[in-house]
Amino acid sequence: TKTEEFAAKAPAAIPDGVYAETVLSVEHYTDRLFRFRMTRPAGFRFRSGEFAMIGLMVGDKPIYRAYSIASPSWDEELEFFSIKVPDGPLTSHLQKIQPGDTVLMRKKPTGTLVLDALTPGKRLYMFSTGTGIAPFASLIRDPETYEKFEEVILTHTCRDVAELKYGFDLMEEIRNHEFLAELVGDKLKHYPTVTREAYPFQGRITDLMESGKLYTDLGVPPLDPAADRGMICGSTAMLKDTKDLLEKAGLTEGANNKPAEFVIERAFVG
């Protein structure tokens, strides 16, 4: 019939019960990494460090993947930092978005990399590899992080130097920000390392923890469960190896309903 013919040609309708937001800006860092910002739905609330399900209509079906929200909870826009997987079901399409395009988001954010899941401490370590920096991009821009901790150490390890750029951009944004600059002061330390290219700070974070170089470089004492708290976000293997080292130092894993000394979350789209 004519109606069926029309339905087949019309753009697929946005599914019910999800947000449809507008892309505001896109920045490509490398052929593997990009960041984008989009509008934030009026009623959408989340805690810094949480993730949401982000999607696109692909043909007539929505495809979703979990993405850490990289912007802090006070921001009026939402930011995401994404990998580009050449034949990834979502990222092969998402990497082509332009300002003005529509991105879908499911309504309920969740996640364990939240300040509430940690017991009080002096120093907060955020260990990240690759796009695992995204939840920390949110937390380092949240004033609550600095109310709870005297010192915040963000480690970011990537294969090559170009992949570190998002982290440097974040640090510069904080330094130039009208209220964050003063509030953060010198409490935040950025520790970028690279594994497959020459760079002043080289090696996997796990190796730098084991050798103690991380602590001597930063001028801090080795991990101590009385003072130190941790959050980890990276590949499955990185999570396991880093978690083992934190446990060896005497820290225990926490959760939303049972705060403890460290929490972990997979960097989802890998």
Q: Of 142-161, which residues contact ligand A2P (CB under 6 A)? A: 157-159
Stretch that binds ligand A2P, among 22-30, 54-62, 102-110, 236-244 (CB under 6 A): 236-244
**Are 51 and 265 a contacting pair, CB within 8 Å?**
yes
What is the side-by-side order of every strand in the sheet holding 77-83?
61-68, 51-58, 102-106, 18-28, 33-39, 77-83
Instruction: Select 64 or 201, whichever has its Cβ closest to ligand A2P.
Output: 201
* Min dist. Cβ of residue 51 to ligand A2P (A): 17
- As given in the structure block, the two tokens for residue 14 are 């946005």
**Are 123 and 111 a contacting pair, CB within 8 Å?**
no
30 binds ligand A2P (CB under 6 A): no
- As given in the structure block, the two tokens for residue 149 are 């901790």
* Min dist. Cβ of residue 156 to ligand A2P (A): 9
* Min dist. Cβ of residue 95 to ligand A2P (A): 16
Largest CA distance in the chain: 75
* Min dist. Cβ of residue 2 to ligand A2P (A): 51
Q: CB-based contacts of 120: which residues, under 8 Å, 6+ apart?
A: 148
73 binds ligand A2P (CB under 6 A): no
* Min dist. Cβ of residue 92 to ligand A2P (A): 17
Q: Of 94-133, which residues contact ligand A2P (CB under 6 A)? A: 129-130
**Are 54 and 67 a contacting pair, CB within 8 Å?**
yes
Location of structure tokens 């989009």: 38
Instruction: Select 143 or 270, whichever has its Cβ closest to ligand A2P.
Output: 270
Q: Of 176-235, which residues contact ligand A2P (CB under 6 A)? A: 195-196, 204-206, 235
**Are 262 and 251 a contacting pair, CB within 8 Å?**
yes
> CA dist 230 to 5, 35, 110, 115, Å?
56, 25, 19, 10
68 binds ligand A2P (CB under 6 A): no
* Min dist. Cβ of residue 130 to ligand A2P (A): 4
Chain contacts with ligand A2P (rule: CB under 6 A) = 129-130, 157-159, 195-196, 204-206, 235, 237-238, 241
